[in-house]
Structure 1
Amino acid sequence: MSHKLLGLPYDDWIDAFLPIDDSEVDYTKYDRLFDGVVIGEKESEMYEPLITALNDTDILGDFVLAETYARYDKSDSSKKKADGGMYPKGSPAIKQKRTDWATVEVLIECKTNDSGDPYDERTSSGVPFAETRRDALGQIMTYASTVFEYQHLTHHFGVVILGSRARLGRWDRSGIVFSSKFDYKEEPDKLARFFWRVAHATAEARGHDPTATRVLRGSADYKTLKAWKTKKLAEDDYVARRFVRSLNADRPWWRLRVTDRKHGTKEFLVGQPTFAAPGVVGRGTRGYIGLNVSDRHGDNPFVYLKDCWRVEHERTQLEGDILSQLNEKGVTNIPTALYHGDVGDHRTISQDFCQCAKAGCVSEVVEESEEEVVEGEAEEEISDEERDEEVDDTDDESENGGVDGTADESGDEMSDATVDEAFGEEEAETDSNTTTTDESQTLATSRCRMKAHRHYRLVVKEVGLPLQEFPCGRILLWVVRDAIIAHEDAYKKAKIIHRDISVGNILMIPPNGKNGKTTYQGLLADWELSKRLDDYQAEARHPDRTGTWQFMSVHIQDHPHAQVEIADELESFLHVIIYCAIRYLPHTCDDVGSFMYNYFDDGVRRRQPEAEYTCGILKGYVMDKGTIVTSERVPVTFLRSPPIADSKKSSRNSKKRPRPPPPQPHPINRVLSKLFPMFSARYRTTQVQSADPLDAFDKGCPSTDTLRPSQQQEQGESSESLKTHSRMLEVLYMASEEAASLWPGPEDRMPDQLKPNFNPNKPEKTREKPTTSARVGDAEGEPSSKRRRGDASQT
């Protein structure tokens, strides 16, 4: 979240974001407007007088403020409840006093005093140190994220009431710009001016996307979609069935417009997104199954539509152009690009205000020490801020899904990690300004990391299923093998490397009557971060780390400035297999949540030269030793069927019945035993090459990295196999094709073994000092948690 928040003085903020002429409005008549607002110990006592005061004036025009703190949106499974908001007249939120994410125009959150202030202009990042304030930030960011998911917005406004004071906020995909605090009881014109201007602004000025038209009840589009809900669909027509499921009556339906420079404007009807990346800041990818209403020919009217905010950079190539090039080169097992293009002139502007830091406004980076900044706050809070001031860039999205994240169900208390997740996926490319090592040490906490984003849509022909829905272990390997074939094809035929292998970027096309396939086909999607090999070699390196953290190779996590190579990509495919197997196949690991966190999400912080995170201890250990173990070094074995329940818990009569034989080992164990040596050899070879020559003179303590010449040759040969795709493809082909008869069927597929509410940071606090109960990833008592993204963390 580093440097994604920025503060401006009230006058600068209101004129920058709501530049509406209100010179004829007499704000003096509102001098005592908020005198009736009760400032006490209960937030609930503030809501009614505040909302009534504004509703009883002519400030709001066609809008009304509503109390919504008591009832959550009935379509929101997380049951979040915003305190209040500005809604159009006629919104169900007004009469029902229920949060309605689909129609809220301005969010309102109330706190009884400054201890709930989510912003802090005294810190370089704008993020406060105090835990209660960070909780408040996580809370409102989760609310804002939900608004962006339900509506099609370029930006969104919000108000935070802090006792007798208030702040204004504006969120877009680049960051959050907040106003200085003001006393609305002493200066009521400031809060009145905000609501007058936002209520009288155009829909676009309030953030609404004109290329997204909501489908209203009774319209022609509504009747078209309703007709699909009544159609009789073939059992194996998974696309149409999923499209109909997306037509959730409690969620808004939309007509979306895509303007392609070659094919003109195309329009699509969509329901609820099949995937929505959590958070506000970042690319904000949403995926839809779309009904093509522009080209009605053919028996398959459905497409997949990706809506996102791409990083605007002169080196960036549009994903649709990349896919088209790959399609032209005959690369197999990838989506087919149909239409794509930027959406209007939609561009984030938060990053433009970073310049204010040089002019000495509120957003100026403070040079004080942390102790001076947080004087009067508890010292233990600083450790959390230090943990979150990381400088790596990762990405979490795909065309048809990604690593999901879930919001805190209570909507009231948010963990520190949830604050990170609320900020959403951050881009894998940094801005083009590079610095030397010495400069980076100085500027690590002062340079603005907001990046310009452009709104972008891509339409592809294929509608795939998420890899996590694989029907059995053999098909899991089959689909991953297809994705590796796509990677090899792109590398050889188009000279392009993907650079973002993740579980969300591998899709499945199941066999059905329409596509004529006899088995599953794997697709490698989301080529946005790919790069041409010619540019790859010639281009100077930028201080970035490309990919999705959970699936990055140990090498890339430990060396963030290194180029991504074939070996790194193949290792990412291996991590994808492990990720799916641990969650959905039977095994002996009895704590899936801890394993998933320690293997995929954890990281160890490196203090120099920048506050970067490197590979977590468990993942590095597994890749080095070449075997899957838990954090307690207990080996994990995959089974053909679930483990037998503990006999002590069985009934008395069970003694009379013969006990079934224990489950047999799963074939995937053998596959992993063939793959692991290639990767562990790579890291052991690296250790040998980087060993200190002086170790040879230390007879009393020989180097643990020293190997016999025969061992070095054997490991060197194994690591050589990672320079091409051949060996890994050979292993997966043998396992999934030639040895198909040895695999169990669908009986090895289990429900998700990762508890949806798993939160590794919640049970205990260990800030005061290191203890023996610190996690395996902790180093010298330093919190080791990497920014948690996705369904590996499930905050």
Structure 2
Amino acid sequence: MFARFNKRILRCQIHNAYRSSSSSSVSPYTSTHVFRDKRMAMIGRDMDRKFVGPMNPLEFLDEFLPISDTERKKQGTWQWWKDVVELKDVGNREGVTQEEHMYRPLIKALAKYGPKLNLVITSQDPDNVNWAHQPGLIKPDISAYTKKSGINRNDITRTEFWMELKWTETDDGFDDREGKPLEKDTDSREINFRLTLEHNSLLTRNHARLIRWDRGGAVVTRKFCYYQEAHLIDFVWRYDRATREARGHDPSFTEVTSKRRAKKVRDVLGMGEKDRVWEVRVADDQGKTEVFTGGKMEFRGVASPSGRCTRGFYVLDSHDQIRYFKETWRILSNNLEPEGKVYKRLKDAGVTHILDVIISGDVKGDWQVTQTHKHTTTANKNAKLRSHQHYFIVFAQVATPIKKFRDSFQLVQGIAHAIEAHRDAYEKAGVLHRDVSVGNILFTDDGEGFLIDWEFGKSVYSKDPRTVERMGTWQFMSARLLFNPPGTVEHVLGDDLESFYHVLCWLVLMHGRHGLSTERVGYEIARIYDDWTTVQADDENPRAGGMKLGNFSCYFMKNQAQLAPGPLADLVYDLEKAFNLRYNRSKLDYDPEAYPQLKAYPQLKAMLDEVNQQDLQKVETSVWILERFNKALEEKEKLEEQTCDPERSPKFPQLDPEKNRKRKRTQSELKDESSE
């Protein structure tokens, strides 16, 4: 699995207008039709305005799957019109009434153009990869593998490309009409967003699109009739002859062929007997290169078809020492430094509890910078695109994600150390982290905690304008940042400190000791941390934070979470009370006329205002928060006695996004809802 995440994706969509889209007997997580899944809707919003096109199909193929003049001459001998006509039978022969009837005829029609490829029906064979808390989500209709691999079932780690079949034209989430936005309305977009997770190709009875994905977004061709134009068979023919790199395999990774070496790596890293072992070369900007071997995944970032795709692995260096390897697609921006340079600045300033960098650098070669942004058209004038650069960074310390804490002492100390790192970076180096999350706090066997992932770190002295998109991990952003449209409020120190609180609560609910059932935990996690809404139907920026605001107001952790008594619960309750003041200050703070009698006692009012301001400052700097964490750590024995709950495995419900999308809600309505 080590190299597969670097793969670019070429996709084909085909659509059909001969069947109603109102089928209702479809179970979730199949590719038969869209199920209104909260996660799909959220990922859909993440992909909003990141599709570009429509591109001419032939130009698309020449750009992304180019062929030599010799191969082009071979194409000139095709009697392609015969084969293309045969494709008409795939969706139009007698007896075809649903997309499943098209699978085998389609595979048969395309087989001669991909002799090195094996097309396999995988629509009823879910991969066991866990995607956004839900295994079994990824089930493409047809998956392509190399015949050499011998694979004949769904395995997304070995897939070359996928093919997804849809029956109606309404399942096409794109609009080719001139002057119209490429992406259609919300319902159609959600269909395409589900396809981003499940296909490289999408077919129906009459039409097709080719789509090429990278971490910046996706390039979409115009719609074409695949039995009147040869673009579909041309795609399969070119892909069959393409080099591994042209197909999207990262040349930085090569599979270890020595059985002896592979066995040693598996044994040292605790990998499975059949897990593939990879060798990867990392080069810095000074010309230095180091080689690492491994592939045991330790961290997978937030599920999204675009963005950084951050992953962490355990690897061995040339001396067989275990190291922590991070792979990401960093954002190319004048306002963001490569993470390795940020680490150097932090180390030079004496920041504690950060990892030591062995080597870091941009990955060299073709396709290591996203290409989507280069292919915008007039239909994409509102495209919301970023350029991404493939990036490696290797750390000396072998650390474990904080979500794997053994007991409450390990949890509290790990987060406390991360807050200390955050404080030092802010005060000594003038850097604000801006992405505090569960995935960015690690701990080592000796108990030291680390704050990682500094690529969003920004100088507190910077005068650069606010970003048009929120920075950070959605689930752990402050209620303030989520509740306001991006770019309208500054990301400040207090927002990061609130994120530490959300990390603590998320981990306590997920893995701590309390009285909530696993079903209730799954519901609350989805409700509080995964929640989003749109204020207007055409609002491209989802908002949230209302649930977090409501939880502060009603003291959810104290009154409903049923935490096991002890220093951890006391810490959570005190933090909850303090952060509540960020949003629910005394009435005096908003309406000095609320208590007319205070006019006669201006000194009393001034004193109350001062107390109110002092309480607020508790959560706007790290001083009081660290003092409170350290006070909890003084009760080490009690914290160590409170181990994590190994039996807890929360089930995540399908929260219906229709509740969030059915009617347009105003800001005042959202505020009223949050205070209920």
Do the two structures share a fold, i.e. TM-score over 0.5? yes
Q: Deviations over 1:673-720 (max 9, x none)?
A: 43344333343459755x367x669x9xxxxxxx95443221111123
1:360 alignment counterpart: none
Q: Deviations over 1:58-90 (max 9, x none)?
A: x33543444444545578862743322443232
2:216–2:373 Cα contact (<8 Å) kept: yes
Match of 1:92 among 128, 150, 159: 150
Q: State the SS of the aligned residue for 2:529.
A: helix
1:514 alignment counterpart: none
Distance 1:349 1:71 in 2: 32
Match of 1:542 among 455, 467, 477: 467
2:370–2:389 Cα contact (<8 Å) kept: yes
Match of 1:475 among 403, 406, 410: 410
Q: State the SS of the aligned residue for 2:467.
A: coil
Task: Name the amino acid aligned to 1:628.
Answer: F
Q: Does structure 1 residue 454 correspond to structure 2 residue 389?
A: yes
Match of 1:347 among 347, 369, 383: 369
2:571 alignment counterpart: 671
- Compared CA separation, residues 613 and 172, structure 1 to 2 (3 A): closer
Question: What runs of 5+ residues in structure 2 fail to find an aligned partner?
Answer: 1-46, 597-603
Shift of 1:754: 5.6
Q: Does structure 1 residue 180 correspond to structure 2 residue 222?
A: yes
Q: State the SS of the aligned residue for 2:583.
A: helix
1:500 alignment counterpart: 435
1:153 alignment counterpart: none
2:537–2:661 Cα contact (<8 Å) kept: no
Q: Does structure 1 residue 60 correspond to structure 2 residue 124?
A: no
Distance 2:263 2:455 in 1: 35
5 Å-filtered alignment, 1:36-185, equals 36-39=89-92, 40-56=96-112, 59-60=113-114, 62-72=116-126, 78=136, 80-93=138-151, 96=152, 98-121=153-176, 126-129=182-185, 131=187, 133-134=188-189, 136-143=191-198, 158-185=200-227
Distance 2:76 2:206 in 1: 23
Task: Name the amino acid aligned to 1:244.
Answer: G
Q: Deviations over 1:99-129 (max 9, x none)?
A: 3333332222223343443544469764444
5 Å-filtered alignment, 1:208-607, equals 208-215=249-256, 219-220=257-258, 222-229=259-266, 240=268, 243-245=269-271, 247=272, 249=274, 251-262=275-286, 264-277=288-301, 278-293=303-318, 296=319, 301-345=321-365, 346-354=368-376, 356-357=377-378, 364-365=379-380, 446-511=381-446, 520-535=447-462, 538-559=463-484, 560=486, 561-589=488-516, 591-607=520-536
Distance 2:532 2:345 in 1: 36
Shift of 1:29: 0.7
Shift of 1:134: 5.0
Distance 1:611 1:143 in 2: 23
- Compared CA separation, residues 86 and 667, structure 1 to 2 (3 A): closer
5 Å-filtered alignment, 1:635-784, equals 635-639=560-564, 665-685=565-585, 691=590, 709-737=606-634, 739-741=635-637, 743=638, 745-751=640-646, 753=648, 755-761=650-656, 779=669
- Compared CA separation, residues 711 and 624, structure 1 to 2 (3 A): farther
2:514–2:562 Cα contact (<8 Å) kept: yes
Distance 2:435 2:632 in 1: 25
Task: Name the amino acid aligned to 2:117.
Answer: F
- Compared CA separation, residues 125 and 588, structure 1 to 2 (3 A): farther
Q: State the SS of the aligned residue for 1:271.
A: strand
Task: Name the amino acid aligned to 1:273.
Answer: M
- Compared CA separation, residues 681 and 53, structure 1 to 2 (3 A): closer
Q: Deviations over 1:635-663 (max 9, x none)?
A: 43311xxxxxxxxxxxxxxxxxxxxxxxx
- Compared CA separation, residues 53 and 783, structure 1 to 2 (3 A): farther
1:3 alignment counterpart: 49
Q: State the SS of the aligned residue for 1:680.
A: helix
Match of 1:13 among 46, 49, 60: 60
Identity %: 28
Distance 1:195 1:570 in 2: 51
Q: State the SS of the aligned residue for 1:269.
A: strand
Question: What runs of 5+ residues in structure 1 fail to find an aligned partner?
Answer: 145-157, 231-239, 358-363, 366-445, 512-519, 640-664, 700-706, 785-795
Shift of 1:548: 1.8
Distance 1:485 1:780 in 2: 35
Q: State the SS of the aligned residue for 1:31.
A: helix
Task: Name the amino acid aligned to 1:525.
Answer: I
Q: State the SS of the aligned residue for 2:351.
A: coil
Distance 1:600 1:70 in 2: 31
Q: Deviations over 1:263-305 (max 9, x none)?
A: 6111111224222333321111121101113xx1xxx611111
Q: State the SS of the aligned residue for 1:534.
A: coil
Task: Name the amino acid aligned to 2:616.
Answer: S
Distance 2:77 2:583 in 1: 69
Distance 1:38 1:125 in 2: 29
1:592–1:753 Cα contact (<8 Å) kept: no
Q: State the SS of the aligned residue for 2:618.
A: helix
Shift of 1:623: 3.1
Distance 1:783 1:683 in 2: 14
Q: Does structure 1 residue 33 correspond to structure 2 residue 88?
A: no
Distance 1:226 1:623 in 2: 52
Shift of 1:728: 1.2
1:499–1:546 Cα contact (<8 Å) kept: yes
Q: Does structure 1 residue 198 correspond to structure 2 residue 239?
A: yes
Distance 1:105 1:783 in 2: 47
- Compared CA separation, residues 136 and 495, structure 1 to 2 (3 A): closer
- Compared CA separation, residues 686 and 557, structure 1 to 2 (3 A): farther
- Compared CA separation, residues 90 and 544, structure 1 to 2 (3 A): closer
Q: State the SS of the aligned residue for 1:176.
A: strand
Shift of 1:190: 2.3
Distance 2:364 2:632 in 1: 49
Q: TM-score, normalised by structure 1?
A: 0.69
Task: Name the amino acid aligned to 2:80.
Answer: Y
- Compared CA separation, residues 782 and 172, structure 1 to 2 (3 A): farther
Q: How many residues were matched structurally? A: 600
Shift of 1:753: 4.3
Q: Does structure 1 residue 620 correspond to structure 2 residue 549?
A: yes
